[in-house]
C-alpha cells in the first residue's frame, strides 16, 4: 500500500464538504475520484498532498515514496524553452554526466593508485547514470513533448510566450518526467486533443507507479481506472473496476435503494390500512391485534428516501417545425489563413435526424468549419447549402448570445416568457446553477459558466439543426449525461465538434475525421470509428455472429420472464379478488349481526321464546363466520 486516507473530514464555515472519507491506494494501482462539481474532489486532493489541513483524519504516504501533483490549470511560466523546462527535471543526471566527463579527462593524466581510485569512482558514476536513465532521458523528453502535442519546431519556443493551455501541458510533461511513485492529476485532459489524450492513456497504463485521477472524461477513466472512489453528499464509496463498471454498479445500488424505500413505504401504508380496518371491526380481539401491529410499526427503522438522479433535470428538445430531408450540403469547401492550409475539397451531406460528430487534432479547422456554416466567416473556396425549413441553433465557445447586464434567470425568462419559475430553475440546475446562483449577472460569470448558460438557452430553443462547438466543456458527468439524453431524444439534426469520446460514443450516428486537410467518414459512433480504424473485417463478422447468438439467448430469456410475470400477475389478481370478496362478505354479515342485535333487544320479542332462541342461534352462527372471515382477511391482506 502506497497511500492510506483514514476518516478525513473537512468543512468550510458551516458547509460540510468531506465526512469520514477513508480509502487506500495500492502500489501501481490506477484510481479515479469522481463526483459532481463541488463535491469536494479537488479539496480531497489538496488534503492528500498537504496543501490543505483536514479538520479530522489522517493521510499516510508510505515511507521513502515520492508524490507528484498537477492541479487544474497548473502552469509554468519561465524564460526557458519548452525543451529546457523539461530538461531541468533531469538536472541530477546532467550533473552526473558532467562529473563523468571530468573524471574521463582526469584519468588521462593519472597513474597507479590515483588512477585506480578514479576508475572506481568512474564505475560508480556511470552505474548511477545508467540506473537513473541517463542514456535515455533525452529521448524520453522528446517522446513526452510529442505525446503532449508539441512538434519539434516548437521545442525551442520560450514557455513565457505560450498560451495557458500550452503552459499546463508543459507542467504535465515536467511531472511525468519526474516519475514519482504516486502521480495525482486533477483534470489532466482539459487542454489535450484526442491524440494527446490517447498517448497519455497509454503512458499512464504502462506507468511503473500508482496514479490518482480526477476527471470528467469518462472514456479516459474507462481505459485507465481499476478503482473508482465516488464522493457523494460528503461521503466516499469505493467501487472496483473502471468507470463503466462503476456506472452499472452505482445504478444497481441506486435502484436497489429506491426499491427498498418504495417497498417499505408500501408496507407501512399497508400496515396502517390493516390497523385501521381491524379497529373498524370494533371487537376486542381485533383492537388488540391492531395495537400489536402499531407497536411493531413504531419500531421500524424508516429508510430515508434516496436522491432521485436527475428526476427534475431532464431536458426535452422539440423542434418547432420539421426540416426537409436534406439539411446540409457541403461542396468543395476550403479555408486557409495566410499560408496555413486548414482544409480543402471538403464534401459531405447531412440528412434530417442525423447526429454527426467532427473530430480531429487541435488546429485542423473544426471550429472554423462550424463558423463558415453559420455565416460568421467566409470560405475561400466551395459552397454549402441549407435545406428547406432548416433553422440553426448555434453554440460556440465565445458565447455572443448572452447579455452581460442580465441575471441568469432574466437571460432565460426574457427569451422564454412562457416558462414557469420552476421550469427555468430546473433548466439552470441541469447546468449546475442552483439556489442564489440564478441571480448572478452574466458579466460576473467565468468563461465556463457563460458556456453553460449559452447551452441552457440553446436547449430551450426551437431550432431543428443544432451546431455545437465542444458542448461538454466545463460540464460535470451528471450534466453531460443530461445533455446526452436530451440529444438522443432530439428529433432534429445535430452537428458538433467534440473531444469527449464518451459523449461521441453515446450520441453520434456518424463521425467525420478531419485529418490531412480532408474528411474521412465513419458511419457509426466512436467505438465503430476505432474498430474500423484498427481492426480487420473478420473481427466485425465475429462480432456480428456473437451479437446474433446473444440476441437469440436474450429472446429466450425474455419469453421465460414474460411467462413468469404473467403467472405472477394472475396470482396477484386472484388474491385481490379474494380479498375483495372477503370484505364484501364481512360487510354483509356485520350488517346482519347488527340487525340481529336490534331484534334480540326489541321489547316486542321479549315473550317470544322460540323466536329469541332462533335469533340467538343465527347470531352465534354469524359471529363464527365473521371470526373466520376476519382471520381470512388478515391473511389475505399480508
Residues pairing with 25 in the sheet = 3
Q: Are residues 553 and 527 in the same domain?
A: no
The span from the CA of 69 to the CA of 115, in Å, is 45
Q: Is residue 613 part of a domain?
A: yes
The span from the CA of 520 to the CA of 513, in Å, is 5
How confident is residue 350, by pLDDT bands cut at 50, 70 and 90? very high
Using the predicted structure, report yes or no on whether residue 46 has a pLDDT greater than 70: yes
Using the predicted structure, report yes or no on whether residue 444 has a pLDDT greater than 90: no
Q: Are residues 241 and 275 in the same domain?
A: no
pLDDT score of 398: 64
Using the predicted structure, report yes or no on whether residue 311 has a pLDDT greater than 50: no
How confident is residue 378, by pLDDT bands cut at 50, 70 and 90? very high
Closest to 445 measured CA to CA, from 417, 455, 393: 455
The span from the CA of 428 to the CA of 442, in Å, is 13
pLDDT score of 541: 41
Share of the chain above pLDDT 90, in %: 32
Q: Which of 259, 280, 298 is the last residue of a domain?
A: 298
Q: Are residues 290 and 214 in the same domain?
A: no
Question: What's the domain range around 465?
Answer: 326-534
pLDDT score of 418: 84
Residues pairing with 10 in the sheet = 18
How confident is residue 145, by pLDDT bands cut at 50, 70 and 90? very high
Q: Are residues 242 and 267 in the same domain?
A: no
Q: Is residue 593 part of a domain?
A: yes
Q: Is residue 165 part of a domain?
A: yes
Q: Are residues 122 and 171 in the same domain?
A: yes
The span from the CA of 344 to the CA of 360, in Å, is 15
Closest to 636 measured CA to CA, from 288, 298, 296, 274: 274
Q: Are residues 355 and 439 in the same domain?
A: yes
Three-state SS sequence of 303-342: CCCCCCCCCCCCCCCCCCCCCCCEEEEEEEEEEEECCEEE
- The mean-pLDDT minimum among 55-64, 296-305, 439-448, 548-557 falls in 548-557
Q: Are residues 148 and 241 in the same domain?
A: yes
Q: Is residue 312 part of a domain?
A: no
| Count of domains forming the chain | 4
At 65-104, the pLDDT tens digits run 999 999 887 778 788 899 999 999 998 999 998 999 998 8
181 close to 210: Cβ distance less than 8 angstroms: yes
At 235-287, the pLDDT tens digits run 899 999 999 999 899 888 888 888 898 899 999 998 888 888 888 888 888 88
Closest to 172 measured CA to CA, from 195, 188, 151: 188
Q: What is the CATH number of the domain that holds 400?
A: 3.40.50.300
Q: Are residues 439 and 499 in the same domain?
A: yes
How confident is residue 202, by pLDDT bands cut at 50, 70 and 90? very high
For the residues 515-537, what does the mean pLDDT come to? Answer: 79
Cell digits for 159?
Answer: 514557455
Give the Cα-Cα-Cα angle 487, 245, 10 (nearest 5 degrees). Answer: 90
Q: Are residues 59 and 86 in the same domain?
A: yes
Residues pairing with 16 in the sheet = 11
Sequence-distant (≥ 6) Cβ neighbours of residue 61 within 8 angstroms = 2, 3, 67, 182
pLDDT score of 39: 84
How confident is residue 143, by pLDDT bands cut at 50, 70 and 90? very high
At 450-504, the pLDDT tens digits run 777 887 887 777 788 999 988 887 777 877 887 888 888 888 899 999 989 999 9
The phi, psi pair for 204, rounded to 5°, reads -70, -35
At 416-443, the pLDDT tens digits run 888 888 888 888 887 778 888 889 888 8
Strands 381-386 vs 326-337: parallel, antiparallel or unpaired = antiparallel
Using the predicted structure, report yes or no on whether residue 298 has a pLDDT greater than 60: yes
Q: Are residues 204 and 171 in the same domain?
A: yes
Q: Is residue 320 part of a domain?
A: no
Q: Are residues 555 and 507 in the same domain?
A: no
Q: Is residue 592 part of a domain?
A: yes
Q: Is residue 306 part of a domain?
A: no
Q: Quick one: how far is CA 311 from the chain centroid?
A: 15
Using the predicted structure, report yes or no on whether residue 592 has a pLDDT greater than 90: no
Q: Is residue 557 part of a domain?
A: yes
Q: Are residues 136 and 36 in the same domain?
A: yes
Amino acid at each position: 500500500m502506497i497511500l492510506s486516507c483514514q476518516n478525513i473530514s473537512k468543512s468550510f464555515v458551516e458547509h460540510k464538504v468531506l465526512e469520514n472519507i477513508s480509502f487506500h491506494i495500492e502500489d501501481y494501482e490506477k484510481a479515479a475520484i469522481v463526483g459532481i462539481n463541488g463535491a469536494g474532489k479537488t479539496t480531497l486532493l489538496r488534503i492528500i498532498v498537504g496543501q490543505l489541513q483536514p479538520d479530522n483524519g489522517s493521510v499516510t504516504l508510505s515511507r521513502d515514496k515520492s508524490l507528484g501533483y498537477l492541479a487544474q490549470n497548473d502552469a509554468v511560466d519561465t524564460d526557458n524553452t519548452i525543451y529546457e523546462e523539461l530538461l531541468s527535471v533531469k538536472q541530477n543526471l546532467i550533473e552526473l554526466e558532467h562529473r563523468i566527463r571530468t573524471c574521463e579527462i582526469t584519468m588521462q593524466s593519472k597513474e597507479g593508485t590515483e588512477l585506480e581510485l578514479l576508475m572506481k569512482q568512474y564505475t560508480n558514476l556511470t552505474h548511477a547514470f545508467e540506473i537513473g536513465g541517463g542514456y535515455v532521458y533525452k529521448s524520453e523528453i522528446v517522446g513526452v513533448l510529442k505525446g503532449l502535442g508539441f512538434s519539434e519546431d516548437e521545442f525551442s519556443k520560450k514557455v513565457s510566450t505560450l498560451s495557458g493551455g500550452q503552459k499546463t501541458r508543459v507542467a504535465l510533461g515536467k511531472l511525468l518526467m519526474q516519475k514519482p511513485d504516486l502521480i495525482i492529476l486533477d483534470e489532466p485532459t482539459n487542454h489535450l486533443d484526442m491524440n494527446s489524450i490517447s498517448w497519455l492513456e497509454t503512458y499512464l497504463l504502462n506507468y511503473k507507479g500508482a496514479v490518482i485521477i480526477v476527471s470528467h472524461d469518462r472514456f479516459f477513466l474507462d481505459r485507465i481506472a481499476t478503482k473508482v472512489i465516488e464522493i457523494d453528499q460528503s461521503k466516499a464509496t469505493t467501487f472496483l473496476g473502471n468507470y463503466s463498471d462503476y456506472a452499472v454498479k452505482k445504478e444497481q445500488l441506486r435502484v436497489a435503494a429506491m426499491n427498498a424505500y418504495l417497498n417499505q413505504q408500501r408496507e407501512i401504508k399497508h400496515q396502517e390500512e390493516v390497523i385501521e380496518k381491524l379497529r373498524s371491526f370494533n371487537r376486542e380481539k381485533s383492537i388488540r391485534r391492531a395495537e400489536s401491529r402499531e407497536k411493531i410499526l413504531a419500531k421500524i427503522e424508516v429508510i430515508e428516501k434516496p436522491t432521485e438522479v436527475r428526476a427534475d433535470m431532464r431536458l426535452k428538445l422539440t423542434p418547432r417545425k420539421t426540416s426537409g430531408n436534406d439539411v446540409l450540403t457541403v461542396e468543395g469547401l476550403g479555408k486557409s489563413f495566410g499560408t496555413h492550409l486548414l482544409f480543402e475539397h471538403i464534401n459531405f451531406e447531412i440528412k434530417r435526424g442525423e447526429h454527426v460528430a467532427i473530430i480531429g487534432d487541435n488546429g485542423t479547422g473544426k471550429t472554423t468549419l462550424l463558423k463558415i456554416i453559420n455565416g460568421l466567416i467566409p470560405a475561400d473556396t466551395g459552397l454549402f447549402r441549407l435545406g428547406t425549413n432548416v433553422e440553426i441553433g448555434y453554440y460556440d465557445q465565445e458565447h455572443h448570445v448572452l447579455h452581460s447586464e442580465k441575471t441568469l434567470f432574466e437571460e432565460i425568462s426574457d427569451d422564454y416568457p412562457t416558462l414557469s419559475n420552476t421550469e427555468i430553475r430546473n433548466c439552470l440546475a441541469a447546468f449546475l446553477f442552483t439556489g442564489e446562483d440564478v441571480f448572478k449577472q452574466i458579466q460576473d460569470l467565468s468563461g465556463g459558466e457563460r458556456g453553460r448558460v449559452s447551452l441552457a438557452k440553446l436547449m430551450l430553443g426551437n431550432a431543428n439543426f443544432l451546431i455545437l462547438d465542444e458542448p461538454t466543456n466545463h460540464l460535470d458527468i451528471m450534466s453531460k449525461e443530461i445533455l446526452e439524453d436530451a440529444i438522443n431524444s432530439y428529433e432534429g439534426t445535430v452537428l458538433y465538434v467534440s473531444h469527449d469520446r464518451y459523449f461521441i460514443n453515446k450520441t453520434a450516428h456518424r463521425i467525420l475525421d478531419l485529418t490531412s486537410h480532408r474528411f474521412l467518414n465513419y458511419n457509426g459512433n466512436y467505438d465503430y470509428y476505432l474498430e474500423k480504424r484498427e481492426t480487420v473485417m473478420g473481427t466485425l463478422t465475429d462480432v456480428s455472429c456473437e451479437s446474433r447468438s446473444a440476441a437469440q439467448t436474450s429472446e429466450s430469456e425474455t419469453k421465460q420472464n414474460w411467462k413468469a410475470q404473467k403467472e405472477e400477475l394472475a396470482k396477484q389478481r386472484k388474491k385481490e379478488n379474494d380479498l375483495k370478496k372477503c370484505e364484501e362478505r364481512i360487510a354483509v354479515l356485520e350488517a346482519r349481526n347488527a340487525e340481529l342485535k336490534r331484534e334480540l333487544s326489541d321489547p316486542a320479542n321479549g315473550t317470544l321464546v322460540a323466536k329469541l332462541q332462533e335469533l340467538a342461534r343465527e347470531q352465534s352462527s354469524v359471529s363464527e363466520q365473521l371470526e373466520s372471515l376476519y382471520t381470512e382477511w388478515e391473511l389475505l391482506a399480508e
